[in-house]
Structure 1
Amino acid sequence: MAALNFDTLEYVKQLTDAGVERQVAEIHAITVGRAMGMYVDNLVTKEYLDATLDARFAAQDAKFEKRFAEQDAKFEQRFNKSESDMRVLKWGQALVIGAVLLPQIAKLVG
Structure 2
Amino acid sequence: MGVPEAQAEAQAELMAEAFVFNMDALVTRDYLDQCLDARFAAQEKRLDERFARWEKQINARFDKQDARFDKQDAHFDKQDARFDKQDARLANHDLQFAEIRGELKLHRWMLAIIAASTVIPALQKLFALLTG
TM-score class, shorter: 0.5 to 0.7
- Provide the rounded CA distance (Å) in 1 between the counterparts of 2:29 and 2:87: 83
User: In structure 2, what is the equivalent of residue 74 of structure 1?
Assistant: 57
TM-score by length of 2: 0.54
Alignment length (residue pairs):
84
Query: Which sections of structure 1, spanning at least 5 residues, go unmatched?
Result: 1-26
Percent identical pairs in the alignment equals 30
- Provide the rounded CA distance (Å) in 2 between the counterparts of 1:103 and 1:43: 86
User: In structure 2, what is the equivalent of residue 107 of structure 1?
Assistant: 89
- Provide the rounded CA distance (Å) in 2 between the counterparts of 1:35 and 1:108: 102
Which of structures 1 and 2 has the larger relative contact order (alpha carbons within 8 angstroms, sep 6+)?
Answer: 1
Specify the structure having the higher radius of gyration (Cα).
2
User: In structure 1, what is the equivalent of residue 119 of structure 2?
Assistant: none
Partner AA of 1:90 in structure 2: D
> Which among 46, 54, 72 is matched to residue 29 of structure 2?
46
Shift of 1:94: 1.1
* Displacement over 4 Å in runs of 4+: 32-35
Partner AA of 1:57 in structure 2: F
User: In structure 2, what is the equivalent of residue 60 of structure 1?
Assistant: 43
Distance 1:35 1:93, change over 3 A: closer
Distance 1:35 1:102, change over 3 A: closer
Shift of 1:35: 4.4
Query: Which sections of structure 2, spanning at least 5 residues, go unmatched?
Result: 1-8, 93-132
TM-score by length of 1: 0.63
